[in-house]
Amino acid sequence: MRRSILTCALILDAAVLLLGTCASLAAVRGDVMAGAYRCAVVADSRQWLDCIYGAAQQVRARLALTPATTAQIRLASSPPAGGEVKDQALRDQALAQAASCSRLLTEREWLDCYYKSTQVVRASLNLPPVAGPTAIDHSADNVMRSADQASNRFGLPDAPAAGLQNRISARMASYTFDQFGMFTVELSNGQVWQQLKGDTSNAHWRKSAAGYFVSISRGAFGSYNLRVALETSVFKVKRIK
């Protein structure tokens, strides 16, 4: 009788452990998929792929795989919004395939399936088939470094008037208003932008700066337009730092 009770107790413990493990796996996979869905705002499909791969970092860490690239992790943590989203139908197909990977039991099988789901987008960009999570495309780091260099000059007097860098996106780090209601905004990338005194639009921000996502694009005659996500107002600004 005692042996039977002990056996039952061991079985129950194993069942509880298994349930806990399954719940943990489901939670991590859910976090990865949530991150993948956040990447939807990324306009460029090549950059979208890197965002998708960066979103998988939690599972890579659990499997003790080489981390995703710095650029990929940065993209996934703060996907840049702005511009026309490309290849929407192909992206939706890829995410639907990634969601179907949930049927797989082991983390490695799931991660392989997640990576291979992006093949339809890779093919449209003439990229080679993805070889799975062990093969990381480090070209994203070079792309990010080039983008960072262009972004750092965006809005400065010596920045090129035309070129690939026509817009930057970032979260606010802080904002202030002067006595006339004109704002000065510092972005998370360190840039500081000031509303032009002749602008007739007024901002009415009240919440924490980190709650605002900003997009700044080139306007007519060398001007710059600042927009805040989910708001309709457009503000004329100049970069002061």
Residue 151 lies in a domain: no
Q: What is the mean pLDDT of residues 133-156?
A: 58
12 with 125, same domain?
yes
In this structure, is residue 105 part of a structural domain?
yes
Say whether both 179 and 100 belong to one domain: no
What is the 3-state secondary structure of the chain?
Answer: CHHHHHHHHHHHHHHHHHHHHHHHHHHHHHHHHHHHHHHHHCCCHHHHHHHHHHHCHHHHHHCCCCCCCHHHHHHHHCCCCCCCCCCHHHHHHHHHHHHHHHHCCCHHHHHHHHHHCCHHHHHHCCCCCCCCCCCCCCHHHHHHHHHHHHHHHCCCCCCCCCCCCCEEEEEEEEEEECCCCCEEEEECCCCEEEECCCCCCCCCCCCCHHHCEEEEEECHHHCEEEEECCCCCCEEEEECC
The answer on 226 and 127 residing in a single domain is: no
What value does the mean pLDDT take over residues 234-239? 94
As a whole number of Å, the end-to-end CA separation of the chain is 78
User: What is the C-alpha separation between 142 and 50, in angstroms, rounded?
Assistant: 12
The per-residue pLDDT for 25 is: 60
Task: Give how far Cα 141 sits from Cα of 65, 101, 146, 185, 212, Å.
Answer: 18, 28, 9, 28, 27
Decide if 152 is inside a domain.
no
Average pLDDT over residues 59-79: 86
Domain end residue (candidates: 101, 119, 144): 144
Structure token digits, residue 26: 């489901």
Question: Please, are residues 219 and 200 in contact by the beta-carbon 8 Å criterion?
Answer: no
Q: Looking at residue 194, what is its pLDDT? A: 96
Q: What is the mean pLDDT of the chain?
A: 79
**What share of the chain has pLDDT > 70, as a percent?**
78
**Highest mean pLDDT pick, 1-10, 144-153, 229-238:** 229-238
pLDDT at 64: 84
Give residue for tokens 């032009």.
196
Please give the average per-residue pLDDT across 63-71, as a whole number: 83
Q: Which residue's structure tokens are 């399954």?
A: 22
Mean pLDDT, to the nearest integer, of 27-43? 88
Sign of the four-CA dihedral 159, 161, 166, 170: positive
Q: Would 125 be classed as within a structural domain? A: yes
CA–CA separation, 211 vs 223, rounded Å? 26
HSE-CB for 140 with a 13 A CA cutoff: 24
Where in the sequence is the domain holding 229, given as residue range(s)?
161-239
Residues with Cβ within 8 Å of 150's Cβ and at least 6 positions away in sequence, in order, are 163, 164, 165
Q: Are residues 12 and 126 in the same domain?
A: yes
Last residue of a domain, one of 144, 173, 204: 144
> Other C-beta atoms within 10 Å of 177: how many?
14
The whole model's pTM is what? Answer: 0.51
User: Of the residues 144, 176, 196, which one is the last residue of a structural domain?
Assistant: 144
Number of domains in the chain: 2
| Same domain membership, residue 116 and residue 17 | yes
Whether 155 is covered by a domain: the verdict is: no
139, 179: one domain = no
What is the rounded average pLDDT of the residues 162-182?
A: 81
Same domain, 26 and 136: yes
Q: Check whether residue 116 and residue 168 sit in a common domain.
A: no
Lowest average pLDDT, out of 15-29, 94-108, 112-126, goes to 15-29
Task: Find the length of the chain.
Answer: 241
Q: What is the mean pLDDT of residues 125-132?
A: 77
203 in the same domain as 87: no
In a domain, 138, yes or no: yes
Claim to verify: residue 112 and residue 171 sit in the same structural domain = no
Same domain, 169 and 212: yes
Asked whether residue 154 is domain-assigned, the answer is no
Q: Specify if 11 maps to a domain.
A: yes
* Residue 235 confidence (pLDDT): 95
Can you tell me the mean pLDDT for 137-166?
57
Q: Are residues 102 and 127 in the same domain?
A: yes
pLDDT value for 158: 64
Q: Is the predicted pLDDT of residue 56 greater than 80, yes or no?
A: yes
Query: Which percentage of the chain shows pLDDT scores above 90?
Result: 21
